[in-house]
Structure 1
Amino acid sequence: MSPPTRQGFAIFGAGIFATEAYIPALAALGKAAPPLKAVYSRSAKSAEGFSAAAVTALGIPAPDVYHDGENGGGVDAILARKDISSVLIVLPIPVQPSIILKALQAGKHVLSEKPVAPDVAGGINLIEQCRSEFQGKGLVWRVAENYEVEPGIQEVGRLIGNGAIGKVIGFKACILNYVSKDSKYYKTPWRTVPEYQGGFLVDGGVHTIAVLRVLLPQPITHLSSFASLNKEYLAPHDTIHAIAKASSHYSGTLEMTFAFPTTSKPVSAKDAYVVTGTEGYAAISIDGGFIKAILTTEKKETVVKEKMRGVELELGSFFDAADSKEGIEPFGNPVDALKDVAFIEAALKSNGALVDLGLLVHGLE
């Protein structure tokens, strides 16, 4: 008797990241991924383009195309299909929460792109509703934060946690991004006039907070920050300067901007993250598709260099969890993803006042 046919999955969203990150990740997974059955986009053109790209890269039959408008089928038509058990949601930030709920209500497993929601209040409502309606029903919902699962970040976090640089006494993150009006990401209509706080700071900034979440042995609990806008086309904000405290153990600083004036960066910013300990330090950079780190003490130097594979690993882990396989890493926890949003939101609103991050997400643990 032949084994039962494995149910497939659909992708909601056919934009830049879905095409340039998800398709290569699926190609790397190969047969470890279930069959891609369908793709949805708001426009027929983008859905058809994604379907064609998937055929070429994955060597699969063309995924069915769904879109808004006349004869497009839309989201509901995909969710009604019995041969689709999982959906990957790669849609604009403001619309994702409603689609997450709709997919779970249809009995589908869900992997939704970061951030978990546009703001903390919306994220809390989403998580509480999901717990109320779907807990115990065997459905998987994970948030796709690829930096959280990067092997290089994970390895450095393990080394720091195991005392490779002694007891942590401080940290810094310096993230300098140049975004021009010609950037392919800026030209995305929903990013050009964002309907959510912080613009690129929320969209891309949660990656930075996720990295700190993995690197630091204790969670960040408080911050004081100032936010500013330096390039009008990046409204509402493009820069954050913050001082943050991790539990009662140590503090650090964060400089994050998407308004850097040049594509080149100063030598002092080569290491995007530095974690200082009582016996040494770890300097971590993300460059050219690699995570690079040097952990240095008076007695030893440890070098970590890992190719970035986060999207591939988060997809594979999600598919395994959806298939109820045992021993799956618990990546993509929506509460952890919400804490990343809470940091950015607090940094945007602090205006120098001390903010207790725990109060923002109180009661969700």
Structure 2
Amino acid sequence: MAEQRIRVALLGAGGFASTAHLPAIAATPAFDLVAVYSRSRSSADKLVQAAQRFPATSGADLAVYSDDSSDGATLDALLARDDIPAVVLCLPIPHQPAVIRRTLAAGKHVVSEKPAAASVADARALVELYEAEYAPKGQQWIVAEQFCYGHAWEKARELVRDGKLGTVQSFAVDVFIQPSLAAGATNWRREPEYQGGFLLDGGVHFFAALRHILSTASPSPLALTSLSAHVSQLNPSLPPCDTLHALVGTSSARGDDDRSARGPSGTFTLSFGHPKPAQTKLYTLRGDRAVLTIDLAHPRIHVLRLVTQPSPADPDAAGEDEPNVLEIELPARDAVEAEFEAFSRALGAGIGSREADEVRRRSGPRAALRDVAAVEGALKSGEQGGEKVALKELVGEALWEVQ
């Protein structure tokens, strides 16, 4: 007997909803898209038209809901449907937390776009509410941090986990992106209603990737614990700031706070403000056995390069042997499909299952809260002249542990 498919509603009709969320839902065998919502009926209708591009949704009889509906087909009516157990939210950052609360209160499972909220305080309140009232009922909520599901990040995590680098001693993240006109010219990015502007909107992804890779480091998993940063605005169209340079501290992810549990430090540079030819997306992790680079600059192929220096047979010949170089090319496909597939498996298995625990560690509420804290910590440090900000203090002791 075939498994019963999970009926899903897509809330939000912006560009990313139609170019990423819609195709990801259509590509997930366990999902059945049955309804869409947008604040305006016209934009909701455009989402229905976009669904015609995909075989899985082209023939679907999608119910359409909007705030300006004349027939009562509003968001409240959609959420009242007990035949739709899961919703996908792709809404502007300032509006999303209120809708997360409404969808959870309606008994739904939720995938919400990143970040979890516009601030640590708002994200923390959501996490506390979810864990107190809705997780005990079996409802699942993840935040769309799809970098944690991409091919390159998965392979990098595997190499670090399996000790191919030995002990991680330092790391460097260098990301310089020039937003396209379509991505950078929208009013909600030119006039953001939340801290950090593009640095929050896009920055959580890059912190999430680093968090994900280091969370299974050998011999001890590592957590990002502190930042000392400088922030600035280089592009006048991307207020209030578009560039950050940070020194990032780590410690054992097992919760130890003593000096012996402190891990390696690294640098983290993220900029949306530098003009071309500054385009770079490069992660470098250095261990006592090897160096791993993850190059994301190519739009179709991501390249991992593992350089290992062999131990010479003769100690006097140290440095004479050529290093071993392993290059791995992986498709740079959008990881949203993998993320949605993982969430569908978690819903099928139920909260507390191995599948649900895995997505919770990657992109659950507490993990996403840490990513917001990393950006907010960098912004706070920048405001304070580079003073070190402890992320655990931002998040709070009660919500720090992800495991």
- Superposition TM-score tier, normalisation by shorter sequence: over 0.9
Offset, 1:320: 2.0
Structure 2 counterpart of 1:215, from 192, 213, 216: 213
Q: Which 4+ stretches in 1 moved above 4 angstroms? A: 2-5
* Structure 2 partner of 1:52: 49
Contact 1:156 1:304 in 2 (8 A): no
* Structure 2 partner of 1:320: 345
2:297 matched to 1:282? no
1:219-238 equivalences under 5 Å are 219-238=223-242
Q: Residue 60 of structure 2: SS of its match in structure 1?
A: coil
For 1:171 and 1:67, locate their aligned partners in 2 and report how far apart those are by CA, in whole Å. 46
Task: Using the TM superposition, name which of 72-81 and 348-357 deviates more.
Answer: 72-81
Structure 1 counterpart of 2:197, from 196, 199, 207: 199
Task: Using the TM superposition, name which of 87-96 and 37-46 deviates more.
Answer: 37-46
Compute the TM-score of the two structures, normalised by the length of structure 2: 0.84
Contact 2:5 2:30 in 1 (8 A): no
* Structure 2 partner of 1:18: 17
* Structure 2 partner of 1:173: 173
Contact 2:25 2:33 in 1 (8 A): no
For 1:4 and 1:162, locate their aligned partners in 2 and report how far apart those are by CA, in whole Å. 35
Q: Residue 272 of structure 1: SS of its match in structure 2?
A: strand
Offset, 1:3: 7.0
User: One-letter code of the match for 1:195?
Assistant: E
2:263 matched to 1:249? yes
Q: Residue 230 of structure 1: SS of its match in structure 2?
A: coil
Q: Which runs of 5+ in 1 are unaligned?
A: none
2:183 matched to 1:185? yes
Contact 1:7 1:83 in 2 (8 A): no
Compute the TM-score of the two structures, normalised by the length of structure 1: 0.92
2:373 matched to 1:360? no
Q: Residue 204 of structure 1: SS of its match in structure 2?
A: helix
* Paired positions, count: 356
2:305 matched to 1:294? yes
Offset, 1:215: 1.9
- Can you list the C-alpha shifts for 1:50-72, whole angstroms capped at 9, x where unaligned? 11111232333242211112426
Contact 1:51 1:64 in 2 (8 A): no
2:361 matched to 1:335? no
Contact 1:153 1:291 in 2 (8 A): no
1:36-75 equivalences under 5 Å are 36-58=33-55, 59-71=58-70, 73-75=73-75
User: One-letter code of the match for 1:23?
Assistant: L
* Structure 2 partner of 1:35: 32
For 2:100 and 2:84, locate their aligned partners in 1 and report how far apart those are by CA, in whole Å. 15
Change (3 A) 1:163 1:47: same
For 1:49 and 1:289, locate their aligned partners in 2 and report how far apart those are by CA, in whole Å. 28
For 1:130 and 1:26, locate their aligned partners in 2 and report how far apart those are by CA, in whole Å. 24
For 2:26 and 2:99, locate their aligned partners in 1 and report how far apart those are by CA, in whole Å. 26
For 1:34 and 1:148, locate their aligned partners in 2 and report how far apart those are by CA, in whole Å. 21
> For the aligned residues, what is the CA RMSD?
1.9
For 1:225 and 1:7, locate their aligned partners in 2 and report how far apart those are by CA, in whole Å. 44
Offset, 1:323: 2.4
Task: Using the TM superposition, name which of 65-74 and 149-158 deviates more.
Answer: 65-74
Contact 2:224 2:248 in 1 (8 A): yes
Contact 1:51 1:62 in 2 (8 A): no
Offset, 1:193: 1.3
For 1:147 and 1:7, locate their aligned partners in 2 and report how far apart those are by CA, in whole Å. 24
For 1:238 and 1:356, locate their aligned partners in 2 and report how far apart those are by CA, in whole Å. 22
Change (3 A) 1:3 1:276: closer
For 2:188 and 2:197, locate their aligned partners in 1 and report how far apart those are by CA, in whole Å. 10
Contact 2:93 2:115 in 1 (8 A): yes
For 2:37 and 2:294, locate their aligned partners in 1 and report how far apart those are by CA, in whole Å. 37
* Structure 2 partner of 1:94: 94
For 1:196 and 1:226, locate their aligned partners in 2 and report how far apart those are by CA, in whole Å. 19
Offset, 1:289: 3.4
Change (3 A) 1:64 1:226: same
Computing the radius of gyration from Cα coordinates, the structure with the larger value is 2
User: One-letter code of the match for 1:261?
Assistant: P
For 1:33 and 1:184, locate their aligned partners in 2 and report how far apart those are by CA, in whole Å. 32
For 1:284 and 1:350, locate their aligned partners in 2 and report how far apart those are by CA, in whole Å. 27
Percent identical = 38
Q: Which runs of 5+ in 2 are unaligned?
A: 252-261, 311-323
